[in-house]
Structure 1
Amino acid sequence: MRSQDHDRIFLSPPHLGRHELNYVHKAIEDNWVAPVGPNLVGFEADICAAAGVPFCVALNSGTAALHLGLLLLGVGPGDEVLCPSFTFVATANAIRYCGATPVFVDSEAATWNICPVRLREAIEDRLRRGHKPRALLLVHLYGMPAQLAEIGALAEEFDIPILEDAAEALGSTWQQQPLGSFGRVGVFSFNGNKILTTSGGGALVTHDPTLAARARYLATQAKDAAPYYQHSEVGYNYRLSNILAGIGRGQMELLADRVKRRREIFRWYQGHLAALPGLAVAPAAEPPGALSNRWLTTVLLAPPDPADADAPPATPETLRLALETRNVESRPLWKPMHLQPLFAEAPMYGGAVCADLFARGLCLPSGTALTDSDLRRVAEALAEALR
């Protein structure tokens, strides 16, 4: 390993400032380390302001928020939920938590999100089979807004509520409206690799006060209104702690700067990798009216050239291993859910687009603390590998 490659470059590590300590210290000084406290209330208000919604329930993970969101929409055993195949497993797992079945839909090439054409095909086919989908779990992958106009029109036409998985998309907008605010329920993640973090955490947002109250009730073990512990239905221990919410309050002050820096990193890669053969930063263009937080910069390799059979094609795995020799972390794109053993029996509509993206794509280091020197190291390692 070269001497200048000694320090590891991580894919998307936490990036904390000094703001977070003020809130955490205050919680400890006040001995307010139990789940509910001023930091939690303040963090929820901060999220509401950033997402443009009136109600927020901060939770211990984005997955918990997905689970509660589905429950709020009435998803239960025997139901079907429309879901992109090209996503992180937590999206589909939450459907299974409810005893429901995911109905997977392929991506479209422009944003890599759920394809409106395939979505219509899936809805109409499920209706012919006598199964109206209970909900649509809409994901904004890698921070890129989905085709909201077309998807929203389909959801309205068929009266299917949207649960908006904006776990990767805090700070992204469409028509200047924050993602997470378009569905009946929206979800964010504050996991350690997200654009902002609370170490581990998530949030559920909504415009509906009844849904917000229901989420808060379910997230605190569904305790009945009684002076003793009485429970009439199953609840969950899903609330975020006051300490971690303090980290979140400090992080929220940095959201605009963090989005700006992620977008700068994306543009740096675009400019400096443009000359590399057979490699493209993608998705390159944002749809009209869309602004992506560019949570992770991703690249696609060109398809193998059948006329050049003697040259071994580069693959995401050969690039990943080449970056590892320079102590640089990278990651394949999400493996589609319909290719996962766990969901082998689930219905799938299409599949060629997201399977091709997985076969040719790689996520590059995109953390907001990266220096130009770090980025050059990544670019040099990619150039070496492609040579």
Structure 2
Amino acid sequence: MDQTRCLVPPVPAPKLNIPRSPSTVEVSIIDSTTRISIPFTTLIRPPVQDLPDLKCPSYVFLIHHRPSNQRLVFDLGVRKDWKNFAPALVRRITQNGWGVSVQKNISEILTENGVDLSSINAVIWSHQHWDHIGDPSTFPASTALIVGPGFKDAFAPGYPANPRGVIRESDYEGREFREVSFPSDDSPDLLRIGRFKAIDYFQDGSFYLLDAPGHTIGHLCALARVTDGDRQGFVLMGADAAHHAGEFRPSPYLPLPKDISPNPLEGISNSRFATGHVCPGEIFLHGDGEDGGPKRADHRFLAPAKGLSVDGEKASWTIEGLEEFDASDEVLVVLAHDSTVQGMLNFFPKGIEGQMRQDVKNKVRWRWLADFASETGGTKGERL
């Protein structure tokens, strides 16, 4: 990053050490039709004036490996008949008064767009939370269910064998139910990409599962190589490693620019910065940051809510890992619930490859700052 364009000089990011490969996968982001409304401070701190509730989608990813003709689905959003989740989940949703709206199961979206469900070799759950597990029983028995390390001991068997279960037996019955494991730290087979342990899923460098601990037991992210050649392009499927882009931006490697373009406040009602393609970065440094002190140009604005993560220290470690990936111009980080990419990225049935060649990352990188419009003298509008 050009230091003259930043409010503070950036620190060189650690090398990601992604193995070189000519192999790629096709990736499509699926709008699962899930819409969730949860009090902001249930998930994220500190409070943000314009966001009493986090109203967000839940993205799903379709991965197609052409050499083997295998297809994977990473996460499933919320099942359409969500009141048929395991009773423990239904009670949690209803007792907390969370808003849930779902129009279609992922299996329906795929079928309506000409994808034969028998071509889906596996569904990968990033973790066990209700807004990610959908309804695997709507896929044929030939579709495996893949989960992260420690998942089975923590969450299987499901309901009704376990009356308190948060998944259902029907999610995995009659299909391969596979838990991935990562080599130990001292294993000669250990592969790390960035700071994360990685599994080369297709053994050709096109798609990796990443051990991203902290949020829950067995939490997984995924890294897909979508373009090759001189400029490699990757999509990092961040799942719930963070719930808002302000949890890993700005960072020491990617500080706030002096002038932000495209203007994240363009079209925001009552903002004196609502017109023009550029707005000054310093206007966003009002108010408290995630550590209780003033916001800094080189430190993330937000953090996970206290008690949200099963292991807060590991969750913070994983977020720091996101910062390292985000600093690379080759990597587009897409969180499961980042509404700011809507209207900017291609969604299924289109793929993301073409946009990665057009450097779409720079167009969406700072769009989330619109959530802080009130702190700059504006009012958050319904722009999206």
Normalised TM-score (structure 1): 0.30
RCO comparison, higher one (Cα < 8 Å, 6+): 1
Greater per-residue strand proportion: 2
Greater per-residue helix proportion: 1
Structure label with greater radius of gyration: 1
